[in-house]
Amino acid sequence: MDYEDFIASKALSDAATGLDTVPELNPGLFDFQRDIVAWALKRGRACIFADCGMGKTLMQLEWANHVPGRVLILAPLAVSKQTCAEGAKFGIDVEYIRDGAGECDICITNYEMLHAVDADAFQAVVLDESSILKDYTGKLRNEIISTVGSMPFRLACTATPAPNDYMELGNHAEFCGAMSRTEMLSKFFVHDGGETQKWRIKGHAADDFWEWVCSWAVMIRRPSDLGYDDGGFILPPLHMHMHEVDTDATADMLFQVEAQTLQERQAARRDTITERAAVAAEIAADVDGPVLVWCNLNTEAEAITAAIDGAVNVQGSDDRETKEHNMLAFAAGDIRVMVTKPKIAGHGMNWQHCNTVIFLGLSDSWEQYYQAVRRCWRFGQNNPVDVHIVTADIEGDVVRNIQRKEADAVAMAENMVANMHSMNEQNIKGTARNIMDYSENTTTGDGWELKHGDCVERCREIADDSIGYTIFSPPFASLYTYTNSMRDMGNCANEAEFYDHYRFLIGELFRVTKPGRLLSFHCMNMPTSKSKNGYIGLRDFRGELINCMQSFGWIFHSEVCIWKDPVVQMQRTKALGLLHKQLCKDSAMSRQGIPDYLVTMRKPGDNDTPVNGPLSEWVGEGDMPVTGKNPSIDIWQRYASPVWMDINPSRTLQKASARDDKDERHICPLQLDVIERGLQLWSMPGDTVLSPFAGIGSEGYCAVRMGREFIGIELKDSYAAQAVKNLARAAAERGGDLFEATA
């Protein structure tokens, strides 16, 4: 594989596995529906996030009608028979089954009946109202994903998922086989710690995350979201009516106290059922047409059913047949007032014939509220919809909480659609986009050259056997920490992909280095974690790098261990192994701090230009002057020590101006003490020094000030810009005090 192919392979998208050629589709589809179905057929494994009333049922039936093999549709209770009726309208046979495998090519059953169905008899699956998965236990969710995971054709359809519910997106990605939920969180998200903190998208990952989502999902709230005409898909007005029931003070209080906690709100709800049911019954009595009443408590449902003549209560204790019969009877107009709970009938039902909705109190779940309203206020509704919310004055912030969550959800949904709009439109309409955009530039100065771009590509421009010494800190696999470029070696999905990328550079570094000359890399061993690695320990990053370079012919020349303060590490990382409380609790999990290493490799061959630079540049280093009768021996003893205890960790170049707001970690420039010692030991004035990961130019800053020529390569824009400034400054300072402290 050449380098360009490798970079392309790192792009995080899910490859299509569907039909090469899409057959002629049902003419009853709207243009946006037709294009979405065609896209989903080509994808093979896909998700359609379409708002209520956008025709998900027709789209999933048309998809099922054209995929090879038999299709199993899983749907919420009562939705199954509605789907069968919808299929009949468009000439698509759908068989409702409760067990076994059925006879038709397309069969539908309820989620609860999956265990009784012969899933092996089907080659494709549709999850209708797939967001319902998160309402189930993890056991059933895992059962669904594992049962259908081997089917080559998979489609999930639901209304727009909660924009901030990344777990829901992770469930859908796992269902599609695009990526497991755990992998998704590891790649694109960071958890800032604390029990109340949520996962957030890494700053540099946002664009790539939504592009990846768009490789397997399409989102649409209205046709114009994908560049189509909205036509008849404009909803009628929604009118909200708040009814607050006044309550009397209790015997021991002059005034009622508003509920503050969830438990207090639940108690207030139970204590005011009679009063609230009376208000709801008056509202229903003033309506000539059908009325839908949503409750959260059994006692609420019983009270309002008794208060309204002819009302039918669809409750959890009913058997499946009774629930289905009553919900379909309400849809057909045979029942005027239906009472039920959002968790029973809040998904999938089409009740556009009803335009009066009553909430006999609210829970704190905005999603339940949203889905319950959308049973009636959806595309296909011809009349304005009136939503009445009946609460007691002592229920506290429940209404305000729902209103706040609704405002947040609308804002986030708009942001989500905005992120996905152009990519979805390009995917659905088949226009291509270039994901390999890449540009380069070069800046030169007195004794230095900074190549802005990919280190592998730019290193190829350097002549064979021309570099006297190379020194750098390699990156490690940590997706979207500093950039979103797939050319960034840190943006690797795992350690194996990192080394696949790193090897392209090692060969180039070997080629450009003079025979017998040296390369030094600065690194540390990597701590592991339970969440990412499955265990707490250390990974021998240093040894892996050495082995990787040896495989290209490099000789392991030497290494030095650089001491680091374990107290500072503990305060910065809060690592379990460094905590004093862990030492007291169980010291079997306690460990030492992690040092840095400067590892040096040598290219085989004879060095034609011995490194015998002037001793004067060693004398008076930093704040550690050489004293004694034989300074050469003193210097040798310091530099030949296998452990350097005297490196000043704060002696680095200024880095604040180069940091990007999206960076997930602070820049960690290599200490100037370490760079200077490497240059003093293994290079001479006039040598060309290389850093393939120049960062803000620390290696070049030291090299130029010490009379070397420098070539640096840096991918990140802000770092490259700062490196140019630092290199220009070094050239201006050359000949002055080479060892003045720089902080």
Please check the confidence at residue 480 and state whether its pLDDT lies above 90.
no
CATH number of the domain that 620 lies in? 3.40.50.150
Domain contains 414: no
Q: How confident is the model at residue 349 (pLDDT cuts 50, 70, 90)?
A: confident
pLDDT at 303: 94
Both tokens assigned to 183:
């992998």
Q: Ranked by mean pLDDT, which of 198-212, 336-350, 662-676 comes out on top?
A: 336-350
Q: What is the pLDDT of residue 257?
A: 47
And the tokens for 423? 């990519």
Q: What is the pLDDT of residue 403?
A: 73
402 is a domain residue = no
Question: Taking 50 as the threshold, does the pLDDT of residue 743 lie above it?
Answer: no
- Two structure tokens written together for 54: 């956008």
Residue 669 near residue 695 (C-beta atoms within 8 A): yes
Q: Is 688 exposed, middle or buried (0-12, 13-18, 19+ CB in 10 A)?
A: buried
From edge to edge, which strands make up the β-sheet containing 709-714? 441-445, 448-452, 709-714, 688-691, 467-472, 513-524, 596-602, 555-562, 643-644
User: Is it the case that residue 175 has pLDDT exceeding 70?
Assistant: yes
Average pLDDT of the chain, as a whole number: 85
Most confident of 150-154, 401-405, 634-638: 150-154
Residue 192 to residue 451: CA distance in whole angstroms: 35
Residue 545, both tokens = 């790098």
pLDDT at 304: 94
Any idea which of 30-34, 661-665, 666-670, 698-702 has the lowest mean pLDDT? Answer: 661-665
Give Cα 737 to chain centroid, integer Å: 49
The count of structural domains within the chain is 3
Q: Lowest-pLDDT range, 8-22, 192-206, 222-236, 353-367?
A: 192-206
Query: Alpha-carbon distance 676 to 674, whole Å?
Result: 6
Helix axes 672-682, 631-640, angle to 10 degrees: 120
At 522 the three-state DSSP class reads strand
End-to-end CA distance of the chain: 44
Task: Give me the domain span that covers residue 184.
Answer: 3-226
* E-only strand ranges, 278-415: 291-294, 312-313, 337-340, 356-359, 385-392
pLDDT of residue 199 exceeding 90: no
State CA 6 to chain mean position distance: 23
Residue 544: its pLDDT value, please? 95
**Amino acid 50: pLDDT:** 87
Q: What is the DSSP letter of 100?
A: B
In this prediction, residue 484 carries a pLDDT of: 84
Would you state the structure tokens that stand for residue 619, as one six-digit string? 């004398």
Q: Is 200 helix (H, G, I), strand (E, B) or coil?
A: strand
Region of residue 620 (left: phi > 0; alpha: psi -120 to 50; beta: else): left
Band of residue 545 on the pLDDT scale cut at 50, 70, 90: very high
Instruction: Establish if 287 belongs to a structural domain.
Output: yes
How far apart CA 495 and CA 376 sit, in angstroms, is 51
SS3 content of the chain, % helix, strand, coil (to 5): 40, 15, 40
Does 204 lie in the same domain as 291? no
Is residue 584's pLDDT more than 50? yes
State mean pLDDT over 498-510: 96
Same-domain pairing of 353 and 210: no
Q: How far apart are CA 63 and CA 573, in angstroms?
A: 51
Higher pLDDT, 559 or 478: 559
CA 563 – CA 367 distance, rounded (Å): 54
For residue 346, being part of any structural domain is answered with yes
- 3-state class of 723 per DSSP? helix
Whether 596 has a pLDDT exceeding 60, the answer reads: yes
Conformational region of residue 69, where left means phi above 0, alpha means psi within -120 to 50, and beta covers everything else: left
Query: Which amino acid is residue 585, in one-letter code?
Result: K
Q: What pLDDT score does 343 carry? A: 86
Query: 392 and 357: one domain?
Result: yes
Co-location of 456 and 330 in the same domain? no
Domain-located, residue 403: no
In the chain, the percentage of residues whose pLDDT exceeds 90 is 48
pLDDT over threshold 50, residue 461: yes
In sequence order, the β-bridge partners of residue 201 are 189
Q: What is the pLDDT of residue 284?
A: 94
Which one-letter DSSP state was computed for residue 250?
P
- Same domain as 559, residue 692: yes
**Nearest alpha carbon to residue 298 among 284, 312, 316:** 316
Q: Reply yes or no on whether the pLDDT at 401 is more than 90.
A: no
CATH of the domain at 99: 3.40.50.300
φ, ψ at 244 (rounded to 5°): -110, 120
**Quick one: pLDDT at residue 249?**
41
- Split at pLDDT 50, 70, 90, the class of 171 is confident
pLDDT tens for 74-112 read 998 878 888 998 899 889 999 999 999 999 999 999 988
Look up residue 3 and give its amino acid: Y
Based on the fold, state whether residues 464 and 363 are members of the same structural domain: no
For the ranges 423-432, 488-497, 514-523, the one whose mean pLDDT is highest: 514-523
Q: Which residue has the tokens 């226009």?
A: 431
Q: Looking at residue 295, what is its pLDDT?
A: 93
Q: Of the candidates 178, 199, 226, which is a domain's last residue?
A: 226
* Same domain membership, residue 145 and residue 65: yes
Quickly state the pLDDT bin for 710 (edges 50, 70, 90). very high
What is the three-class DSSP state of 443?
strand
Cα dihedral sign, 168-171-175-177: positive
47 and 75 Cβ atoms separated by less than 8 Å: no
CA distance 423 to 215: 9
> Would you say residue 300 lies in a domain?
yes
Angle at 682 between CA 681 and CA 686, to 5 degrees: 110
Same domain (yes/no): 508, 572:
yes
Tens of pLDDT, residue by residue over 361-386, are 777 777 788 889 988 988 788 899 99
Per the domain annotation, does 12 fall within a domain? Answer: yes
Give the model's pLDDT for residue 542: 95
Residues 273 and 145 in one domain: no
Q: Which residues contact residue 472 at a Cβ distance below 8 angstroms, ignoring those fewer than 6 apart?
A: 520, 521, 522, 670, 691, 692, 693, 694, 699
User: Residue 136 falls within a domain, yes or no?
Assistant: yes
pLDDT in tens, 42-74: 999 999 988 888 889 999 999 999 999 999 999
Answer yes or no: do 450 and 312 share one domain. Answer: no
Question: Is 190 in the same domain as 292?
Answer: no
Q: How far is CA 570 from the centre of its chain?
A: 28
Q: How far apart are CA 669 and CA 694, in angstroms?
A: 9
Q: Per residue in 243-283, pLDDT tens?
A: 988 876 443 443 444 545 556 666 777 888 998 999 999 99
- Helix boundaries (H) for 286-397: 298-307, 320-332, 342-345, 366-374
Mean pLDDT calculated for residue range 1-30: 87
Q: What is the DSSP letter of 203?
A: G
| Main-chain phi, psi angles of 444, to 5 degrees | -120, 155
> What single letter denotes the amino acid at residue 471?
I
In terms of domains, do 553 and 584 share one?
yes
What's the pLDDT at 697?
A: 95
Better-scored residue on pLDDT, 398 or 318 = 318
